[in-house]
């Protein structure tokens, strides 16, 4: 493995990222409706075990269990006043899981769950959002992550606030990933109407290490977004982590429609479309990641 995440990107090799944290933790004791981040305090061994399963499956980039770790989002958790501690500990658990493997740890930074006041019906002031993201980023950096991942974003204003907050707290490489839900005449779009051109215009000038798509309605929509991003920003490393299809109804823990071998084939299409980091999001188990890693390594070795 390369010495740093940026070295790995510059080498041109394809990196395999992990799978779905929330759905994985549901098999290890996470209750329905419970914030996954609470397990960092309540059941750290379960979090560590899931990280280790992804590493054993071939993941080279492990995400921290801190997707909902902003102080804003943690207000609805059992630990509303322990954001810094929770994020720092989440980073330390992921760091422990990758010890001696050469895998990288990405500090996961998801949406706050509130709309900014720059949008209709928004209640969160941009400065409060930047502060919340800065606090989370600082704690993740203190815990030892290799990069910061602003992921599953829908709205441009909030993602920009996240980048500004993260940059004010840390000089770590930054990856920005949006969740795309539809494809039409204007291309792939998020639920807030943001498309690939807006992402490229907003974030490429900011010098992000990679840009991409994760979660979303279907892998095909994620693939369409990657194709667009590759055409608009040639040479920029792209991040792709689609869901394992849609969840089947009335199943708990939820079962998703795509089998591991299907996600392996999807990963190859994403690489061919231009992705440099590929993995899975919701519903992607260690078996899915193992199939993705096997498919990618077989394809790149030929």
CA dist., res. 38 & res. 249, Å (int): 26
Whether pTM exceeds 0.95: yes
Q: How many domains does the chain have?
A: 1
pLDDT of residue 302: 67
CA dist., res. 228 & res. 221, Å (int): 11
Within a 10 A sphere around the Cβ of 229, how many other Cβ atoms?
A: 30
Q: Which residues contact 27 (CB under 8 A, 6 or more apart)?
A: 253
pLDDT of residue 216: 94
User: Shortest CA distance to 24 belongs to which of 72, 2, 70, 57?
Assistant: 57
Ranges assigned E (strand) in 74-170: 104-109, 147-153
CA dist., res. 56 & res. 296, Å (int): 16
φ, ψ (nearest 5 deg) of residue 145: -70, 160
pLDDT of residue 267: 97
Kindly tell me the burial class for residue 300, based on how many C-beta atoms sit within 10 Å of its own C-beta (0-12, 13-18, 19 or more): exposed
Q: Which two tokens stand for residue 67?
A: 């997707």
Task: Tell me the CATH number at 161.
Answer: 3.20.20.330
CA dist., res. 112 & res. 133, Å (int): 9
pLDDT of residue 54: 98
pLDDT of residue 1: 58
Cα–Cα distances (Å) from 76 to 38, 127, 139, in that order, read 11, 20, 19
pLDDT of residue 223: 98
User: Shortest CA distance to 56 belongs to which of 18, 105, 27, 93?
Assistant: 18
Q: Whose structure tokens read 């591991």?
A: 260
pLDDT of residue 249: 77
8-state DSSP, 185 = T
Domain that holds residue 28: 5-301
Calculate ∠ Cα 68-200-123, nearest 5°: 40
**N residues, the chain:** 302
**Coil, helix or strand for 52?**
helix
pLDDT of residue 68: 98
pLDDT of residue 246: 84
8-state DSSP, 14 = P
Are residues 245 and 209 in contact, defined by beta-carbon separation less than 8 angstroms?
no
User: Shortest CA distance to 81 belongs to which of 144, 135, 15?
Assistant: 135
pLDDT of residue 252: 72
Along the chain (302 residues), what's the average pLDDT of each consecutive run of 10 residues?
89 96 94 96 98 98 98 96 98 97 98 93 95 98 98 97 98 98 94 97 98 96 98 98 87 84 97 98 97 95 76
Q: Which two tokens stand for residue 122?
A: 């928004």
CA dist., res. 157 & res. 129, Å (int): 10
pLDDT of residue 258: 95
pLDDT of residue 80: 95
8-state DSSP, 75 = G
């Amino acid at each position: 493995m390369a010495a740093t995440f940026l070295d790995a990107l510059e080498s041109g090799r394809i990196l395999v990222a992990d799978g779905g944290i929330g759905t994985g933790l549901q098999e290890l004791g996470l209750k329905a409706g419970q914030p996954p981040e609470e397990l960092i305090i309540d059941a750290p061994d379960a979090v560590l075990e899931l990280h280790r399963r992804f590493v054993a499956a071939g993941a080279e980039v492990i995400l921290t269990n801190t997707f909902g770790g902003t102080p804003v989002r943690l207000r609805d958790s059992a630990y509303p006043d322990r954001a810094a501690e929770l994020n720092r500990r989440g980073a330390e658990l992921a760091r422990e899981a990758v010890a001696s493997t050469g895998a990288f740890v990405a500090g996961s930074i998801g949406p706050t769950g509130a709309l900014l006041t720059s949008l209709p019906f928004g209640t969160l002031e941009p400065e409060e959002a930047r502060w919340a993201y800065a606090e989370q980023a600082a704690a993740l950096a203190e815990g030892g992550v290799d990069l910061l991942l602003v992921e599953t974003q829908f709205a441009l204003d909030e993602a920009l606030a996240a980048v500004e907050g993260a940059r004010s707290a840390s000089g770590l490489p930054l990856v920005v990933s949006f969740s795309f839900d539809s494809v039409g005449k204007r291309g792939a779009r998020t639920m807030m109407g943001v498309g690939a051109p807006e992402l490229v215009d907003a974030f490429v000038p900011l010098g992000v290490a990679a840009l991409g798509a994760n979660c979303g309605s279907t892998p095909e929509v994620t693939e369409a977004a990657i194709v667009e991003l590759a055409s608009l920003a040639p040479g920029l490393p792209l991040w792709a982590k689609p869901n394992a299809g849609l969840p089947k109804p009335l199943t708990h823990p939820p079962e998703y429609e795509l089998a591991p071998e299907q996600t392996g084939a999807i990963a190859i299409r994403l690489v061919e479309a231009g992705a440099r980091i590929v993995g899975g999001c919701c519903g992607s188990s260690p078996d899915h990641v193992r199939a993705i890693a096997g498919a990618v390594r077989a394809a790149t070795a030929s």
